[in-house]
Structure 1
Amino acid sequence: MKDPKSIFINSVWKENKLEALYNTPLIGVAFSSKQGYVLELNQQYADMLGYTRRELVGTFWTDFSPPEYKELTLNLYHRLLKKEISCFTYEKEYIRKDKSRIWVEISVQSKKNEFDNIEYFIVLARDIDDRKKTLLKLDAEMKQNEALISKLKFQNEQLKEFANLISHNLRAPVGSMIGLLELYDSGIVDYKQSIGVFSEQYRNLTYSLLDTINTIGSALDIKDRSEVKKEKVSFKEILNTVIISLLGKAKDLDFDLITDFELEEITYSKSYLISIIQNLLSNSLKYRSTERKLRVEIKTYYTNEQEIMEFSDNGTGINLEQNSRNIFGLHKTFHTNKDSKGVGLFLTRKHVEAMGGKIFAESKQNYGIKFTLIFNYHENH
């Protein structure tokens, strides 16, 4: 029985191709046994790897592959052996003798005899290092530019919203304060009789104005996702943190909580996720129905490359036919609760959108509300 190298030499010489292949300019040529070991190679292949030809004879296919390429290389090799494919081409890196890496384009073809049995493999390697590194650099620069454009868009949206918030939420209290002062200065009302009423009204307007300014400041402090520290966070741990923080703050924490964290973790801003879940849970507690025990359901899952959280309750709900455009607006309230400020959902939307996500609401008055958060919405749209 002939050894693999004898079979290879006889076959190549028979077809008179050895010399032509070896002298192919700028292309590394190697011949591998069926078992995956190098039988012979030309000088170009050796120079590409920084070894002598003698050092490379007898080496295995994956000996110069970085760890991240070995599984793919072996998979393709086994497919050749099973005759699922007769050739393949792919790009990969080689580790050279000096430990540096070089990008190459590898083409492998099986050589069969007249009985359709594989005798050896022909391996062609082309140096694409300069081209590949240039493309990778351009790709990195494009991603950097995309991140910059995304940041500028985010800042532009912030400026637009800031102008809108100033127009809609600061004008009214400031106008009222000016009106009170003008009325006071006009002498129309008696100073001694009105001073107490004026002081109280002015104090309330001042607190309202300060609260609005603080809320706008909080919204503007929310950073774009490219600037926020992201880490692996557990939904279960975040929820526990939120519940502990609500102890002593919420008047009544007696409610049923059902969770289904199919998606257990997410790479996200920990502080933002705490704020999101805390605002949603506080909203459920604040607007519970007096006719039934509060039930809150939180479900997370991954589908169609989207990371999703559904947060629902059986509280009083909202008439979305009338209020769909305002549900996430600042100081937009839909209930008669004295402590309703219309801030929680506004900040929740700001946090979600700053991280590249989207939040949707479904509700029917007196039947509860459901929020759907797609955390990575803009990665898929």
Structure 2
Amino acid sequence: MISFTAHDQTDKHRNIVSGIVIDIDKIRRKEIELIKVSEELLRSNSELKKFAYITSHNLRAPIVNIEALFGMLNLEALSQDDLVIVDNMKLSIAKLSGVLDDLIEIVSHEIAAEEKCATNLNIEDECVKVINSLENKLVKANAKIKLAVDVNKLYYPKQYFESAIFCLLSNAINYKSNQRNLEIHISSQLIGNDVVLKIKDNGLGIDLKKNAEKIFGLYQRFHENTEGKGIGLFILKSHIESLGGSIEVESEPNVGTTFILRFPQPES
């Protein structure tokens, strides 16, 4: 298909002397090529995730066998130097086992992300469910939670929303300040076509000048003597961005932290 676009560029006899010819077929072919490349990249990415999942599971058996062999060692027959070596080997195997567990968890979430379907959610109801599931920890932390939901409807995969709330509330508990009772504020509002959810706490806070680029990284922890493995925020960010949303953080040491989640909604 050829497109001809003429402009009012004429000579003194009012004859058209110039125009632009566009080969639409060529443009369309390029668009089709880009679509095919995009689809191939998505397929390859999905296959890589599944390969990582299968590989990580297949590595689990040899590690379990090695741990079992260590248990069969006659430690009394070993010298002190040999015992030190065995202890170091056990520690290395334990670390490898932990990394493998984390890899399995992360890849499992990534694969599941491709299979989850969005549904209409009641934000307040879903938050209350998660709060109830954390009741014991919240009571132990002397925590007070305030829900201020201006927008209560959200179109999003239920499991992922609950996982997001669970992750951020757990973080607030794990990084609470010992100088004051924990307070958590959960609010929602509609900005443009996005449902914006904010979860704010008065905990230890994070020095973003030093850690802004690390906060959503894997195995990142910013306070000693606290629970957690440092993978929750990594998974949460991956979930949200895979569905077109975003997550931001505002924080100040010894003041608290606010996470801001944006969930794009279908146009009505």
Q: Same fold (TM over 0.5)?
A: yes
Whether 1:274 and 2:162 are equivalent positions in the alignment is yes
Letter in 1 for 2:125: E
Letter in 2 for 1:212: D
Superposition deviation, residue 303 in structure 1: 1.8
Q: Would the alpha carbon gap of residues 233 and 253 (structure 1) be closer, same or farther in structure 2, given more than 3 Å must change?
A: farther
State the secondary structure of the residue aligned to 2:216. Answer: coil
Superposition deviation, residue 250 in structure 1: 6.0
Whether 1:215 and 2:89 are equivalent positions in the alignment is no
Counterpart for residue 183 of structure 2: 295
Equivalent residue in structure 2 for 1:329, among 206, 217, 228: 217
Within 5 Å, which residues of 2 pair with 1:1-381?
Answer: 149=38, 152=41, 156=45, 190-191=81-82, 193-194=83-84, 197-198=87-88, 200-224=90-114, 227-248=115-136, 252-376=140-264
The separation in 2 between residues aligned to 1:204 and 1:198, in whole angstroms, is 10
Native 8 Å contact 1:255 1:295 kept in 2: yes
Greater C-alpha radius of gyration: 1
Letter in 2 for 1:233: L
The separation in 2 between residues aligned to 1:228 and 1:331, in whole angstroms, is 26
- For residues 165-221 of structure 1, the C-alpha deviation after alignment (integer angstroms, 9 at most, x for no partner) is xxxxxxxxx9xx9xxxxxxxxxx9832x33652354134323322333223323422
Normalising by structure 1, what TM-score? 0.48
Structure 2 spans left out of the alignment, 5+ residues:
1-30, 53-62, 67-78
Native 8 Å contact 2:130 2:165 kept in 1: yes
State the secondary structure of the residue aligned to 2:178. Answer: coil
Normalising by structure 2, what TM-score? 0.67
Native 8 Å contact 1:306 1:376 kept in 2: yes
Superposition deviation, residue 241 in structure 1: 1.3
Native 8 Å contact 2:175 2:226 kept in 1: no
Native 8 Å contact 1:158 1:220 kept in 2: no
Q: Would the alpha carbon gap of residues 253 and 236 (structure 1) be closer, same or farther in structure 2, given more than 3 Å must change?
A: farther
Percent identity, aligned pairs only, is 30
State the secondary structure of the residue aligned to 2:113. Answer: coil
Native 8 Å contact 1:316 1:366 kept in 2: yes
Structure 1 spans left out of the alignment, 5+ residues:
1-141, 164-173, 178-187
Tell me how large the CA RMSD over aligned residues is: 3.7
Runs of 4+ in 1 over 6 A off after TM superposition: 157-160
Q: Would the alpha carbon gap of residues 153 and 301 (structure 1) be closer, same or farther in structure 2, given more than 3 Å must change?
A: farther
- For residues 91-131 of structure 1, the C-alpha deviation after alignment (integer angstroms, 9 at most, x for no partner) is xxxxxxxxxxxxxxxxxxxxxxxxxxxxxxxxxxxxxxxxx
Counterpart for residue 5 of structure 2: none
Q: Would the alpha carbon gap of residues 358 and 216 (structure 1) be closer, same or farther in structure 2, given more than 3 Å must change?
A: same
Superposition deviation, residue 253 in structure 1: 4.8
State the secondary structure of the residue aligned to 2:186. Answer: strand
Letter in 2 for 1:201: L
Native 8 Å contact 2:250 2:259 kept in 1: yes
State the secondary structure of the residue aligned to 1:369. Answer: strand
The separation in 2 between residues aligned to 1:259 and 1:340, in whole angstroms, is 25
